[in-house]
Amino acid sequence: EIVLTQSPATLSLSPGERATLSCRASQSITTYLAWYQQRPGQAPRLLIYDASNRAADIPARFSGSGSGTDFTLTISSLEPEDFAVYSCQQRSSWPYTFGQGTKLEIK
Amino acid sequence: QVQLVESGGGVVQPGRSLRLSCAASGFTFSDYAMHWVRQAPGKGLEWVALILYDGNNKFYADSVRGRFTISRDNSENTLYLQMNSLRAEDTALYFCVRSPPGRYYFDNWGQGSPVTVSS
């Protein structure tokens, strides 16, 4: 099973700042990585698929990069609604696994 | 727009059974693979099961294989999860999730159906 490790566990930033979230895979997953946002009490929402492709209706301030084992989600300038939990997910091999999540909180 | 509405969750004793349903609308249900993904209280997401578009191929997480059965009725646009021999560790919010054809990431999620296994 591929293990995804996200860091940091919690990230404290202010609106307008840049956020950089990391996801590391235990083996190469090429670019088969997705990112999701989950606000409190809501279902997850797909942000990025295949490492760097924005999903429909996702603002341009969200971007993804990486390949192999190291991936990054960047939010260029934080809006108040961006403070949430972010999870990565791999679809390279069964079973499909998620990272444990990074909580992005207001500083 | 795409809608996925789960139902059937509740409180059940260990060892008992429960069946979740997911009513799909706003897209051609029979064209898409569907999944169940769960989230235990305060924990991360865990993929549970997948069924391909025609219902002929199914895949399960090790933690539920042999106890849970995923199925679908394409004539009724409905996804199911039959959960038998439930354990305390199955307590979670269960999401019905769609993935695009041939690509197993999750592009649309229901709001979830809560399942609590407790004596």
B6-63: per-residue pLDDT in tens? Answer: 999 999 999 999 999 999 999 999 999 999 999 999 999 999 999 999 999 999 999 9
Q: Please, which pLDDT band fits residue A94 given cuts at 50, 70 and 90?
A: confident
- From residue B12, alpha-carbon distances to A84, A86, A90, A91, B83 in Å are 31, 31, 32, 32, 11
Does B62 sit within 8 Å of A101, measured CB to CB?
no
pLDDT at B51: 96
Q: State the smallest CA–CA distance between residue A53 and chain B in angstroms.
A: 12
> Quick one: pLDDT at residue B115?
98
How far does chain B reach from its first CA to its final CA, in angstroms? 40
pLDDT of amino acid A84: 97
d(CA A32, CA A73): 14
B 76-105 near A (Cβ less than 8 A): 95, 103-105
Residue of chain A with shortest Cα separation from B111: A43
Q: Residue A83: beta bridge partners?
A: none
* CB of A89 closer than 8 Å to CB of A96: yes
Work out the minimum CA distance from A27 to partner chain B, whole angstroms. Answer: 18
Q: Do B107 and A43 touch (CB under 8 A)?
A: no
Mind listing the pLDDT tens digit for each residue in A48-57?
999 999 999 9
pLDDT band at A75 (very low <50, low <70, confident <90, very high): very high
Contact yes or no for A45 and B104 at CB 8 A: no
Q: What is the mean pLDDT of residues A77-81?
A: 97
Residues in chain B closer than 8 A to A7 (CB atoms): none
Q: Which of A74, A63, A2, A66 is nearest to A31 (CA)?
A: A66
Looking at chain A, the whole-number percentage of residues with pLDDT higher than 70 is: 100
Arithmetic mean of pLDDT, B79-85: 98
Instruction: Report the Cα B38 to chain-centroid distance in Å.
Output: 8
B114: preceding bond cis by omega (within 30 degrees): no
On average, the pLDDT of chain B sits at: 96
pLDDT confidence of residue B102:
82
Contacts A–B by Cβ distance under 8 A: 51
For residue B104, pLDDT over 90 is answered with: no
Q: Is the pLDDT score of B103 beyond 90? A: no
**What's the rounded Cα separation, in Å, for the pair B118 and B99?**
32
Beta pairing partners, A105: A12
Contacts of B105 in chain A (CB under 8 A): 34, 46, 49-50, 89, 91
Mean pLDDT (chain A) is 97
Say what the pLDDT of residue B101 is: 84
Instruction: Give the pLDDT confidence score for residue B118 in this predicted structure.
Output: 96
User: Residue A67 pLDDT more than 90?
Assistant: yes
Q: Is A98 in Cβ contact with B107 (below 8 Å)? A: no
Neighbours of B66 (CB within 10 A): 9
Partners of residue A42 in chain B, C-beta under 8 Å: 111
What percent of chain B has a predicted confidence (pLDDT) above 90? 94
Determine phi and psi for B112, rounding to 5 degrees: 100, 150
- The answer to whether A91 contacts B62, with C-beta atoms less than 8 Å apart, is no
What is the end-to-end Cα distance of chain A in Å, rounded? 35
